[in-house]
Amino acid sequence: MTDTTRFTGHAALITGAARGIGAATAARLAREGARVLLTDVDPDAAERTAEALRGRGLAVEARVCDVTDRASAEAAVAHAADTFGALDVLVNNAYSCTPDTGRFEDEPDTTWARDLDTTLTGAYRCCRAALPHLAASGRGAIVSIGSVNGVQDFGNHAYSAAKAGLASLTRTLAGHAAPRGVRVNLVVPGTVRTTAWEGRDAQLAAVRRLYPLGRVGEPDDIAAAVAFLASRDAAWITGTTLTVDGGLTAVNAGFRQAVAEVT
């Protein structure tokens, strides 16, 4: 539990925030003083999360937002700016990850379109709507949630391509937005224990052995990184990728283990 107040007076909008990383980020920013608009395509789940956070005395509101719909994304941004009087932080967390088919040539166009439209183009829509407000705030920051899937092969063709695209968008938008005083950065998580892994404890246990730090991530691990990049502690950081993956992409644990087993 943090007791800092880095976001006192700030307003933030988070997409895909009803659960998991998004919900943890909403809690983290609100605990540090931000007023947070928690958005999700599932309005009931978003409201339950917001209600739970308000029960802890945090300034959180919920609103439905479908990032695949331009009007919905723009309405959410406008609501945040109107309700809070400004918008200082945008966190792009909404995503879609559809399991691959057995063979690449059997992948339907709908899978590709859905994953890219939600994960990459959805972030683009939100950035486009939010940028004027972030520039006007004088301390605007965009933090998008990438994935190690955008860096190495962990399966999921469309999702991985979308996450790799977010890294490129982060760099190009950072250059465009810097003269307007807006910073743009990306957090790249490894495996994080969220609802996406519910009922897959055996798989999580197997995956854990591949992490040099000996565990998979928790939503709070990613929320802490987002809070840093969104805060003035990162005032001279833009266009960067912060990898938060327990050492997964830096250390080939499987190789080390294979060598150790025959040594």
**Structure confidence by residue, pLDDT tens digits, 244-261:** 999 999 998 877 777 788
Q: Write out pLDDT tens, residues 66-96.
A: 999 999 999 999 999 999 999 999 999 999 9
95 in active site: no
Amino acid symbol at 14: I
Convert the pLDDT of each residue in 138-164 to its tens digit.
999 999 999 999 999 999 999 999 999
Greater confidence (254 vs 176) lies with: 176
Identify the pLDDT of residue 183: 98
Give residue 3's pLDDT.
54
pLDDT at 97: 95
What's the token pair of residue 127?
């950035």
Fold of 11-200+218-250: Rossmann fold (3.40.50)
Task: Identify the residue with better confidence: 4 or 81.
Answer: 81
- pLDDT digit string, tens, across residues 192-233: 999 888 888 899 989 999 999 999 999 999 999 999 999 999
Q: Closest Cα partner for 142 from 204, 103, 93, 92? A: 92
pLDDT tens figures, 42-61 = 999 999 999 999 999 999 99
Give the E-state strand segments of the chain in sequence order. Answer: 11-14, 35-40, 60-64, 89-92, 141-145, 183-189, 241-244
User: Within 13 Å of residue 222, how many CA atoms lie on the same side as its CB?
Assistant: 32
Given 95, 124, 159, 211, the catalytic residue? 159
Instruction: List the structure tokens of 70.
Output: 């331009």
Whole-number Cα distances in Å, 221 to 7, 47, 190: 18, 23, 10
What is the residue extent of each domain of the chain?
A: 11-200+218-250
Residue 2 has pLDDT above 70, yes or no: no
Structure tokens at 37: 């608009």
d(CA 229, CA 238): 9
Whether residue 103 is predicted with pLDDT greater than 80 in this model: the reply is: yes
What percent of the chain clears pLDDT 90, i.e. is strictly above it? 89
Q: How many CA atoms, within 13 angstroms, populate the side-chain half-sphere of residue 126? A: 37
Residue 233's CB is within 10 A of a number of other CB atoms, namely 12
Type of residue found at 263? T
What integer is the mean pLDDT of 171-179? 98
Q: Which two tokens stand for residue 232?
A: 């003035």
At 252 the pLDDT is 87
